[in-house]
Each structure stands twice: as structure tokens, then as C-alpha cells.
Amino acid sequence: MRWHKDLILDKDPADVVDYTISFGQLLQADVISTATVTVENITKDSSSVSGNTVTIWLSGGTDGTIATVTMTIVTTNSTPRTFERSFKVRIQNQ
């Protein structure tokens, strides 16, 4: 999926799921060198970078809460650019 400022995803508290977020439109020809992912109200199991996408594995969370996932990405440009973007995960029993 493509990142946008109002991105809200749904997740059951028992699910362990991956979300792949594309920054292609933002970065255009540039690629991500590193991505640091922090979370609130949910568990980050792992994260990885490929080209201009970030994949994040999430688990847990409490039913009825909203989790926040924040990504800080640095590009491979000769003058690296840094972007911070976040999205919400709505935790609810499915």
C-alpha cells in the first residue's frame, strides 16, 4: 500500500501481520537506505527495507485502542534526505 497522511489500518489483537508501505511517490528515483520504526500501543516484531518500501510485522495490541507506527527513513542520495511518517492501526476484535 502507498503511504498517505490519513492511513489507518485495522488489526485483530491476536493477529500477527505484515504491512508493506511504499514511499515511491515521495522518493521518486531515490531509495531508502535505512528505516527506523517505533510503535505505541502495539508490538513491532520486525521491519525491513527493500528499494522504496518498508515492511513492518506487528502483533498484539488491546481491543478498542489505536496504535501509532512511526517510520524515520533515510535515503541513499549523495546528500541523504530524512523523512518521518506515521500511520495508525485500529485494534479491534474481528
Residue matched to cell numbers 500511520: 87
CA distance 42 to 18: 13
Specify the CATH number of the domain 8-91.
2.60.40
Tens-digit pLDDT profile for residues 5-38: 788 999 999 999 999 999 988 888 888 999 999 9
Q: Where are the domains of the chain?
A: 8-91
Tell me the β-bridge partners of 68: 40, 88
- Secondary structure (3-state) at 12: coil
Instruction: Give me the amino acid identity at 55.
Output: T
The pTM for the full model equals: 0.88
